[in-house]
Structures are given as structure tokens and as C-alpha cells.
Amino acid sequence: MSQQISASLTAILDLERLESNLFRGRSPKSSWPRVFGGQVIAQSLYAACKTVEGRQPHSLHAYFLLPGDPEMPIIYEVDRLRDGRSFTTRRVLAIQKGEAIFAMSASFQVDEPGYDHQMPMPKVPMPEELPDREEMARSILPHMPDAVQAYYQRKRPIEIRPVEIERYRTGGKMEPKFNVWIRALERLPDEPALHQSVLAYASDLMLLDSSLIAHGTTVFDQKIQGASLDHALWFHRPFRADDWLLYAQDSPSTSGARGFSRGLIFDRQGKLVASVAQEGLIRPRPGRA
């Protein structure tokens, strides 16, 4: 899990096209020393989408290679690997100071019919039944650790309503599951690639933290060095990122100072719209364990 920023999502995804396969993105002003990983995923996917016509992305697979510098622009270099009859493949490198900080492959497909099934959405309260940001700040966060208060009070372009927020207060080892409702704060244009890129941005929020629930701690603990290592995202069905989406997260395994987390993303009608998987570093800091 990384830092978040308060600029609009459309501004974050306003990439400058330098050449047909070359784009420049910028980071919003932030006090954080590194670029939020979800921003790089979103900008990379949006750059790839700008080189494909008539097809939507169905999956992406990415690696975080180096921390990004928010004071510098990021160059996105798109490699047009394949344009087939049904599928299109793109590879994207995000570059700063002449070095790749992020690498992603994305696949696109023509719209076609086929078999259809899905897992059911977990039975959780709807977002209207949960405290909004103001109510959380007033009645819930004052009872939470300082780092948790700071995270949830921080301005960001994604609204977050966690279902099991009490776990931060009660502590202790629990089943590694975490449900959170998310949506873009701003109303977005009717452009599927933009909504998919916004969801890519949001998919890096809090996912790594679910790998620590079974161990009774969180990424907010100063004893933990946490960082996303890789990220995969699959788009299953159409959705709007400015409507509420349930991000149902779990963690099947942690080992070797790495946590593995998964997420199923549903719209409020219970339709499974996307799936996520991520492995991240959750290393105890020397001398702080």
C-alpha cells in the first residue's frame, strides 16, 4: 500500500502524447517521497488503451521495479507486441531518469459472447449503511491509532467506506478478509478505458494490508516495511468507477517476508466486474520487531 493524492482522477490520467507510442504523465503535488503505485498502474493502462482501437482491456500483469519520484514526469513507452484478429497485446515501460520503474503487459479483446458464471458477492452492509468520511472523522477515527487516523482522513480522489474498520482498534489475529466500498469522487465521462484505468488506480488501495490481518498487525505499523511488488488485474464485465464498488479482499498466504492478497470487485447489484491479485513486501524492520 502506498500514498494517495487529492488531485482529480481525470487530471492524473491527462497524459501528454509525445509520439504515437510515447506518453508523459505527471504526479499531483504531494508530500510523499514516492509515487503511489496505483497511479503508475492507471497511467500505464491508459497509455496502452490510447494505442488500441475497438477493443477493451481484459487483463494486465505488472511489476514495480523502483520507487517513482513524484517531482519528475514519468515517460510511458508502449510496445505494440501484437494486433491479432481477436486479441491485442501491449507492453508498457514507465521510465524516470533513464531507468524503468514499472513494467506492465496488457491484453485487449474484441467484444464476444460466451459462457457466463461468477462467485456471489459477500453479504455485507451497503455503502449507505456505513459511516461516510465526516462521520468516520467525528465518531470512529478518534478511537483509532494515529497512523490509521491519518490514512483515512487524507484527501484522495477515491472515496473509501471500510466494512471491518473496527479491526484497527481491536487488534489481534483475525481471518484475513477485508471488505471496503470504493468509488471515484468525481463524475467521470462515459469512456470505458477511463473507468478501467480509475479502477486500476483504486485496486492498489489497501490490498497489501489484508495480508497482515492474520498476524494481528497492519501496514500502518512502523515495525513493518511494506511495498507492492507485483500486481495483476482482470476485467470481467462493464462497470462505472464513479458508482459504488465492493472490494472484497483476502489473503491466502504470507511467507518469505511477502504477503499474497486477492480481491474480487463487485458492483452494488452483485455483478463481479473485476478480480485482483498482488504480492507485496511485508518485511519486519530491523531493530523494530
Query: Which residues are annotated as catalytic?
Result: 204, 228, 278
Q: In what order do the strands lie in the sheet with 87-96?
A: 16-19, 22-25, 74-83, 87-96, 99-109, 56-64, 224-235, 272-284, 258-267, 245-255, 177-184, 158-162
**Gap between the Cα atoms of 135 and 276, Å rounded:** 29
**Gap between the Cα atoms of 271 and 118, Å rounded:** 8
| Angle, CA of 172, 263 and 275, to the nearest 5° | 175
- Could you please report the per-residue DSSP string of 95-115? EETTEEEEEEEEEEE------
- DSSP E strands: which ranges in the chain? 16-19, 22-25, 56-64, 74-83, 87-96, 99-109, 158-162, 177-184, 224-235, 245-255, 258-267, 272-284
- Which SS3 state, helix, strand or coil, does residue 30 take? coil
Residue 56, amino acid: Q
Beta-carbon contacts of 206 under 8 Å, excluding residues fewer than 6 positions away, are 1, 160, 162, 178, 180, 247, 249
Q: Which helix (H) or strand (E) holds 213?
A: none
Beta-carbon contacts of 200 under 8 Å, excluding residues fewer than 6 positions away, are 38, 41, 42, 45, 60, 233
